[in-house]
C-alpha cells in the first residue's frame, strides 16, 4: 500500500521540489501533506494518517531537531519514521538527529536518482 | 593565509551542482573574481549568515531575468516578476549554497551556525559590508545573464 508522506520545510519552493523529485524518482506514494515547521508537523501527525516524514532541520519556530525531540515524547506518533532532508549534514548534527530517531539523511542539493537511492527502500 | 584558500574551487563546483542538479539550468564561471560588488540593478539578493568559528555571510546576487527563470524551473510555472515565490526560491538557493559553504569550511556541524535565508530586491541598491571582512565574489553565466556568488568572512 502506498505510503502517505509529510513534507516539513519552511520553503514552499523546496516542498514542491521534494514532491516533484519523489514523482521523478518513480517512487509510489499516497497522500502528500505539508508543514512549514516542526510545530505544524506535529499538528499534522496528530490529525492525519502519515507513514513517513521528510523533514528539514534549519527552520523557524521549531527546527527539525526540536521536532524530533518533541515527537519522541508523544506515544501516538513517536514511531513514525522521519528522514532528514537538509543543507545541514555535519556529523554531529546528523548524529543528534539519528539519536532522536531519524532514520537517515539526504543532503540538499539532491537529484531524483539520489532520492530514489536513499528513499526507495523506505517507500 | 587567506580565508578563501581552498574555498574558491569548491564553491564553484557547489554552485554548478545546485544549478544543474536542482534548478535544471546550465551555468558556468566566467573566471571573473571580484572583491566589491557594483551597484545592483533590477535584481534580487539571497543571503544567509554564518556564526561560530567562521563569521560572515554568503550572498547570491541575481538579475530579475535569472531569478525568475530559476523560479520558473523550480515550480514549473511562468514567472516574470519578483514575487514571494521568487523570494522563497532565491532564499533556498542561498540556503543550499550556505550549507555547502559550511561543509567546505568545517566537516562538523555545530561549530558553524547558519541563519535562516533572507532576500532583498529593488530597482537599484548597493550590497556592501561595513565590517572588516575578506570578500570573494565569483561571477557566473546563466542563459538569462550573469549572476554573482559572494562570500564575506571576518578577517
Q: How does pLDDT run across B61-120, given as a tens digit for each residue? A: 999 999 999 999 999 899 999 999 999 999 999 999 999 999 999 876 678 999 999 999
Give the cell for residue A39: 510545530
Q: What is the CATH number of domain B7-154?
A: 3.40.1550.10
> In a 3-state reduction of DSSP, which class is residue B104?
helix
The phi, psi pair for A13, rounded to 5°, reads -60, -45
- pLDDT tier, B3 (very low <50, low <70, confident <90, very high otherwise): confident
pLDDT at B140 over 60: yes
Give yes or no for a contact between B41 and B82, defined as CB atoms under 8 angstroms apart: no
Q: According to the model, what pLDDT value does residue A123 have? A: 83
> In a 3-state reduction of DSSP, which class is residue B68?
helix
Q: According to the model, what pLDDT value does residue A111 have? A: 87
B48-64 per-position pLDDT tens digit: 999 999 999 999 999 99
Q: According to the model, what pLDDT value does residue B122 have? A: 96
pLDDT at B1 over 70: no
Give the Cα separation of B102 and B18 in Å (integer).
Answer: 15
Measured between CA atoms, the residue of chain B closest to residue A87 is: B99
Chain A contacts of B67, Cβ < 8 Å?
none
Chain B contacts of A111, Cβ < 8 Å?
21-22
pLDDT at B131 over 80: no
Q: Which residues of chain A have pLDDT under 70?
A: none
Percent of chain B with pLDDT over 90: 83
Q: According to the model, what pLDDT value does residue B128 have? A: 85
Give the Cα separation of B11 and B56 in Å (integer).
Answer: 15
For chains A and B, what is the number of CB pairs under 8 angstroms? 71
Answer CATH for A3-107 from 3.40.50.2300, 1.10.260.40, 3.20.20.70, 3.30.70.20: 3.40.50.2300
Give the Cα separation of A42 and A74 in Å (integer).
Answer: 9
Give the cell for residue B140: 557566473
Question: What residue segments make up the domains of chain A, in order of their start?
Answer: 3-107
| Shortest Cα–Cα distance, A76 to chain B (Å) | 31
**B119 and chain A: CB distance < 8 Å anywhere?**
no
Which residue has 550590497 as its cell numbers?
B127
Q: According to the model, what pLDDT value does residue B136 have? A: 95
Q: According to the model, what pLDDT value does residue B132 have? A: 86
**B79 and chain A: CB distance < 8 Å anywhere?**
no
| Shortest Cα–Cα distance, A96 to chain B (Å) | 10
Amino acid at each position: 500500500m502506498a505510503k502517505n508522506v509529510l513534507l516539513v520545510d519552511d520553503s514552499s519552493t523546496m516542498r514542491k521540489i521534494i514532491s516533484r523529485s519523489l514523482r521523478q524518482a518513480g517512487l509510489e506514494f499516497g497522500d502528500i501533506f505539508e508543514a512549514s515547521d516542526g510545530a505544524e508537523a506535529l499538528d499534522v501527525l496528530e490529525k492525519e494518517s502519515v507513514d513517513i516524514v521528510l523533514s528539514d532541520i534549519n527552520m523557524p519556530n521549531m527546527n527539525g531537531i526540536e521536532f524530533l525531540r518533541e515527537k519522541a515524547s508523544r506515544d501516538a506518533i513517536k514511531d513514525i519514521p522521519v528522514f532528514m532532508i537538509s543543507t545541514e549534514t555535519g556529523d554531529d548534527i546528523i548524529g543528534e538527529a539519528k539519536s532522536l530517531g531519524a532514520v537517515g539523511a539526504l543532503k540538499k542539493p539532491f537529484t531524483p536518482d539520489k532520492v530514489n537511492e536513499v528513499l526507495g527502500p523506505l517507500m | 593565509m587567506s580565508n578563501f584558500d581552498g574555498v574558491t574551487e569548491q564553491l564553484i563546483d557547489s554552485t554548478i551542482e545546485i544549478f544543474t542538479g536542482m534548478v535544471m539550468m546550465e551555468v558556468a564561471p566566467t573566471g571573473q573574481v571580484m572583491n566589491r560588488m557594483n551597484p545592483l540593478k533590477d535584481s534580487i539578493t539571497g543571503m544567509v549568515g554564518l556564526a561560530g568559528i567562521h563569521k560572515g555571510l554568503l550572498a547570491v546576487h541575481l538579475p530579475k531575468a535569472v531569478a525568475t527563470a530559476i523560479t520558473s524551473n523550480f515550480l514549473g510555472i511562468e514567472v516574470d516578476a519578483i514575487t514571494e515565490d521568487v523570494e522563497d526560491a532565491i532564499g533556498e538557493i542561498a540556503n543550499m549554497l550556505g550549507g555547502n559553504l559550511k561543509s567546505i569550511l568545517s566537516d562538523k556541524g555545530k561549530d558553524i551556525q547558519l541563519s535562516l535565508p533572507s532576500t532583498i530586491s529593488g530597482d537599484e541598491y548597493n550590497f556592501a559590508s561595513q565590517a572588516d571582512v575578506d570578500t570573494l565574489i565569483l561571477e557566473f553565466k546563466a542563459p538569462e545573464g550573469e549572476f554573482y556568488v559572494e562570500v564575506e568572512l571576518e578577517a
